[in-house]
A and B are shown apart, each in its own frame.
Chain A
Amino acid sequence: MTNSQLTPGVVPGRLPADVIASNFADVEPPLDQHEALVAADRCYFCHDAPCMTACPTTIDIPLFIRQIATGTPEAAARTILGQNILGGMCARVCPTEQLCEEACVREAAEGKPVEIGRLQRYATDRMMARGVHPFTRAAPTGKRVAVVGAGPAGLSCAHRLAMKGHDVTLYDARPKPGGLNEYGIAAYKSTGNFAQEEVAWLLAIGGIVVKNGMALGRDIDLDMLREEHDAVFLGVGLAGVNALRVEGEEKEEVTNAVDYIATLRQADDKSVLPVGRDVVVIGGGMTAVDVAVQSKLLGAENVTIVYRRGQERMSASRYEQEHALSTGVRIICNAAPLRVIGNGAVREVEFAYTHDSGGGLSIGNETFRLKADQLFKAIGQTLEGGAEGLAIEGSKIAVTGAGRTTLAGVWAGGDCAQGGNDLTVTAVAEGRDAAEDIHATLMA
C-alpha cells in the first residue's frame, strides 16, 4: 500500500521518491561560470569593506570577488580558505542576509546585495573539485594538542594547529566527524555527501589523527587529555536538548528536532523516513524552521511552527522564516504549549496565547488546540558532559580572550563556549583564533 499526504499517523513515502529527492536538492543551485562573472561584476571593491567587517571570519570579500571576476576562482578560494577553512560549508549555511550581504552597500543602494555567499561557494567548489589542498604544514614543533569535538570549531582549530606544525588528535563521540555539518544542517543546504568530502579535504593538510566514537566523560577525560597533551581545545557543541516541561511530553511521536534531523541527514534515501500528516514544531530558531521545512518536503500535509514570543524575537532570520512560509509552513507566534494530549501517541497539543511585556512572558487564559500526529521540540540545546572542572557562565563554558577557559592549557570555542551566536561561521572563527592563541602560548 502506498502512502499519501493524507495518510494518518507517522509514515514514510508520503510523496513519490523522485519528488522527495528533488525537494532535497540544493535550495540555492550553484552559480555556473557565466552567472558567477555577472554576479562578481556587481561588487564595488569597497574601501574597508563593510561586508568584510560583518563576516565573523573576516574574509577579504572584495578581493576574492575580484579574483573571480578576473578569471582566477582558485585564487579566490585561497583568499577565502585562508581565513575560513570551512568556507565551502559556510557558503552554503551562513545566514548571509544577516551577515555580509546585509552589510553590502548594494543592499543599501538597490535592496539587492552582491551574492557573496553564492560566489564564495563558486570559488570553493572550484578548488575542491580540483582536489587541491592549498595549505602546507610548517616544520614539526613536537607539540601535541588534543581537540575534542570534530564540528566546525574543532575542525577549524585542528587545521590551524596542524598548519603550524603541531600534532593533533581529534576526538569525537559520534561515528563520523563534522559535527552539525554532518548531523544538523538542513539537508537542502548541504547536499550530497558534502560534509564528509569537506572534512576529508580539510584533513589533507596532514598531522591530524581523527578518533571517532570517543566521548569526553565516557571514554576519555579532561585530566587524562591534559596529561598526554601540551594543550586541549574543547569544541563539543551543545549535545543536550532542553525539555518542554509540559504534561504529556513523554508520549510517542514527541521527538527532539535535532535527533530527527540527525536521522534525516544520515538517510541516503529520504523517502524511507516516516513523517506525520499533521506536524507541530515548538520553537523559534533555525532548528525549528529546519525541521518544519524538511517535514513539509517529506510530504507532511500541515506543518505549524508555534513560537512563544513575537515574530521579531524569533532567532531564525526573516529570510529563513520566508523560506518556511514559501514551502507552506504556518507560523503561529505568541503561544506556549500547555499539554500534549493523546492516547499513547500524540493526537493534539494545547496552547495558550502569551503576552510578552518585555520584562517577562505571561500565559493568558485563551487557549487553542492543534491537531498533531508528530510533535517536534526545538527549544534549544544545552551543554552536556565532559566539561567538569571548568567554570560555567550562563550555561556555557566560561572563556576569556581567544577561548581561554579557567583551566590552564584548556581552550574552548564554538557553541559550547560563552559568547558567539551559535552559527557555523562563528564556531570556525573561534576555533581558528583559539589555535592561534594555543600556538602562541606553546611557542612562547
Chain B
Amino acid sequence: MANLATNFIGIKSPNPFWLASAPPTDKEYNVRRAYEAGWGGVVWKTLGAEGPPVVNVNGPRYGAVWGADRRLLGLNNIELITDRPLEVNLREIKSVKRDYPDRALIVSLMVPCDEESWKAILAHVEDTGADGVELNFGCPHGMAERGMGSAVGQVPEYIEMVTRWVKQHSRMPCIVKLTPNITDIRKPAEAAKRGGADAVSLINTINSITAVNLDTFSPEPMIDGKGTHGGYCGPAVKPIALNMVAEIARSPETHGLPISGIGGVTTWRDAAEFMALGAGSVQVCTAAMTYGFKVVQEMISGLSQWMDEKGITSVDEVVGRAVPNVTDWQYLNLNYVTKARIDQDLCIKCGRCYAACEDTSHQAIAMNPGRVFEVKDDECVACNLCVNVCPVEDCITMERLIPGSVDPRTGRVVEVAVADWTQHPNNPMARAAE
C-alpha cells in the first residue's frame, strides 16, 4: 500500500486528510474519535479572544441544496467561531495532542485586528503543544460584521499585517486561511506570503442564500421570519475551490507556496485532484458532517489504491503534478480537433444528447429511425454538451481527428502543428508563428 505520510510545512501526519476547522473539530470528544477513525490531522474549530465567548443563533444554522436522492450537494451555515470558553478549548487541545503525538493538530484563530490580541492568544496556543496555527480570514458571516474573518481576508494589507504579527510573536508554522469572497484570489495569497505565512489554506465558505421559503418569504435557514447570507460549502463548491488553488499554484508570485486545499472534498478522488493542483494536504468539513468520520477510510484506501496503480510511492509525487497543465485560454491548441462519438451498444436511447444539441447547440446529432442517434461530423463543434448530459458513462466520448485528416465541418486538414490564439489570423494581436 502506498505511503500516505505527509509532511506539510514541517507538520507531520500519517495521511494528507485533515478535518477543517468547523463543528467536527470543536471539542476533544470529536477530535479523539476523528483520530481513532483515521484522520491524519485536524484544524481545531476557530478560537476567539479571551473573555465571554461568542453566541450562536438558537434557531437553525444550516441550509442545504440537494441533488438526486436528496444527496447533499451544498451546505450553508451561519455559525460563528467556537462558542465554548477559550480555557476549555486550550485544555482539551493540550490533552488530545499529548495522546496523539503522530497526528497533526493545528489551531484556528480569529481575534480582533490588533497586535495585542494576537500576541495574547498565540502565547496560549504555544502552551498546548499544537503543531501550528491557521489564521481564519475567511468566515463570511457574523464575525465579518465585527471586522474579523472575511473582513480581514478581503483586504490584502490587513492579511499581511496580521500574518507578520503572528510570525513575529510565535515560532509556530502559520497557515493563512483565505476567503473566496474576493475577485482575485492571488492578491490575498501574495499578501500572506509577504507577511511571512508558511502556507495558505483555501477555500473558506462562499457567501450564499441557499433557498427562499415561499410561504414565509424569507431566506433559509430562517430565524424568526428573517434570514441572512451564510457560508456555502460541500461538493457544489469544489470547482470554485479547485480553480482558486490552481491560480495560486501557477502564479509566478505565489508558485511554491504550500497550500492546504479545502472545499467540497468528499472522496479520495476529490482529494487527489486538489493535490494534483498543488495542495500538500486537504481539509474536509461537509463530507464528515454528512457521512460521519468513517468517510476517511474510503479516502485513505482510495488514494493508496490509485497511487499503487499509478506506481506513485509518496504523496509528494502527486502534489502539483497537474499545475504545469493549467494554462490560459489563449494557449490552448486550436488544432486539437475532436468529434463526439456515440457508442451504439451502450446507448439506452433516451435522446437527451439530441434534445441538448438540437435545441441549444449545433444541430449536430441526427435522430434516425429506431431512435438511433448519430453525430453529424460536419456540424459537430465538439462542445461536449452531449457527453455532459448523457446519463450513461462513456457512452458518448470525444475522439480526436488524426492530424492529416479533414474536418468535415470546416473542410480543412487537421494540422499536426500546435497553433493557439496568439498565432491565429483572426487575432489582431497575433504574433507571427516562428
Contact = CB atoms under 8 A, between A and B. Distances in A.
Interface in B45-95: 68-70
Nearest to A46: B350
Contacts of B351: 46-49
Interface range for B = 10 to 19
A43 to B, nearest CB: 10
Interface string A49-61: 1100000000000
A45 B389 CA distance: 11
B349 interface: yes
Question: Which residue of A45, A46, A106 has the most chain B CB atoms within 10 A of its CB atom?
Answer: A46
A319 interface: no
A41 interface: yes
Contact of A47 (B69, B70, B352, B392): B352
Given A108-B349, A109-B348, A50 B391 contact: no
Interface string B132-150: 0000000000000000000
Given A108-B348, A108-B349, A44 B391 contact: yes
Question: Which residue of A41, A49, A105 has the most chain B CB atoms within 10 A of its CB atom?
Answer: A105
Contacts of A49: 351
B355 interface: yes
B371 interface: yes
A361 interface: no
A325 interface: no
A44 B349 CA distance: 11
A41 B349 contact: no
A88 B354 CA distance: 32
A120 B350 CA distance: 20
Contacts of A41: 68-69
A114 B234 CA distance: 29
Interface string A107-127: 011000000000000000000
Contacts of A48: 351, 367, 371
Nearest to B355: A47
Contacts of B367: 47-48
Interface range for A = 10 to 19
Contact of B354 (A47, A105, A106): A47
Contact of B392 (A45, A46, A109): A109
A105 B69 contact: no
A138 interface: no
B394 to A, nearest CB: 13
A38 interface: yes
Contact of A105 (B68, B70, B348): B348
Contacts of A38: 69-70
Interface in B325-381: 348-352, 354-355, 367, 371
A50 B371 contact: yes
Nearest to B346: A109
B349 A50 contact: yes
Interface string B160-171: 000000000000
Interface in A8-50: 37-38, 41-42, 44-50
Contacts of A109: 348, 391-392
A352 B348 CA distance: 45
B234 to A, nearest CB: 19
Contacts of A108: 348-349
Contacts of B350: 44, 46-47, 105
Contacts of A44: 350, 352, 391
Contacts of B391: 44, 109
A49 B354 CA distance: 12
B244 to A, nearest CB: 31
A45 B69 CA distance: 16
Nearest to B371: A50
Contacts of A46: 350-352
Nearest to B71: A41
A42 B350 CA distance: 13
B352 A106 contact: no
Nearest to A106: B348
Interface in B384-402: 391-392
Nearest to B68: A41
A111 to B, nearest CB: 11
A45 B70 CA distance: 18
A48 B371 CA distance: 9
A174 to B, nearest CB: 43
Interface string A353-369: 00000000000000000
Contacts of A42: 68
Nearest to B358: A47
Contacts of B354: 47
A37 B371 CA distance: 28
A115 to B, nearest CB: 14
B224 to A, nearest CB: 25
A38 B354 CA distance: 26
A425 B426 CA distance: 61
Contacts of B352: 44-47
A229 B203 CA distance: 77
A50 B367 CA distance: 13
Contacts of B68: 41-42
Interface in B238-292: none
A248 to B, nearest CB: 52
A44 B347 CA distance: 13
A48 B365 CA distance: 14
B387 to A, nearest CB: 15
A108 B349 CA distance: 9
A262 B158 CA distance: 85
A44 B69 CA distance: 14
A102 to B, nearest CB: 13
B274 to A, nearest CB: 29
Contacts of A37: 70
A46 B390 CA distance: 10
A44 B351 CA distance: 9
Given A38-B69, A46-B351, A105-B348, 12 more contacts: A37-B70, A41-B69, A44-B352, A47-B350, A47-B352, A47-B367, A48-B367, A48-B371, A50-B349, A108-B348, A108-B349, A109-B391
6 contacts: A38-B69, A42-B68, A47-B350, A47-B355, A50-B349, A106-B348
Shortest beta-carbon contacts, A-B, top 5: A47-B351, A47-B355, A105-B348, A46-B350, A105-B350
